[in-house]
Amino acid sequence: MAFVTASRNGAFEVRESRATADGPRSRTLATFRELDEAAIKKVIERAEKPPTREALIEAALRAGATVAASPVEAAARDLLRSLARGECLSPSRRRLLLDALNGESKQAAEWLGTSLAERGDALRDLLGLGDAVPIRRRPDESSFPRIDSTR
């Protein structure tokens, strides 16, 4: 079971306790000053019984630690600040953002900000898939009657 404890230097530790033949022992899974995504990921990877993200955040708050905003929250904060300063989005990005906020996320939005190399790799994969699809030859004779378009 994982728990969060404060250390003397102002940092916090996520520790995991377990029973051994010599009695209970604990080991440090991660040390942090502010619980962020990297520390959460490290704890989940190293723990024998990984806690949920929510349980880990709750334990950190109970111990008095600060929790960093998620990357999405930070991006939303920066966007709102920019909009409040009078900056504008392009019409296409505005439409994608409104759709995403209404739960109608478009798959094209996943490609925003990707490099040309990533796009090229995806295109090559797609073309390779197209080449792998077998081609079925049409028979010379068909069992269906011919449609005559001259009538």
How far is residue 82 from each of residues 26, 120, 134, measured CA to CA in Å? Answer: 46, 32, 51
Q: Please provide the average confidence, as pLDDT, over all residues in the chain.
A: 88
pLDDT-based confidence at residue 113 (cuts at 50, 70, 90): confident
pLDDT-based confidence at residue 140 (cuts at 50, 70, 90): confident
The DSSP element (H or E) to which 79 belongs, if any, is helix 71-84
Which residue type, as a one-letter code, is found at position 53? R
Residue 73: its pLDDT value, please? 86
Rounded-to-integer distance, Cα 32 and Cα 40, Å? 10
Q: What's the token pair of residue 128?
A: 């390779």
User: Is a pLDDT exceeding 90 seen at residue 144?
Assistant: no
Residue 116: its pLDDT value, please? 93
28 and 14 in contact (C-beta within 8 Å)?
yes
Average pLDDT over residues 47-75: 90
Rounded-to-integer distance, Cα 85 and Cα 129, Å? 46
Tens of pLDDT, residues 9-56: 889 999 998 888 989 888 999 999 999 999 999 999 999 989 999 999
Distance between first and last Cα of the chain: 80
User: Is a pLDDT exceeding 80 seen at residue 106?
Assistant: no
Return all residues near 107 (Cβ < 8 A) that are at least 6 apart.
none
Name the one residue in this structure whose structure tokens are 């996320």. Answer: 105
Q: What's the token pair of residue 99?
A: 């759709």
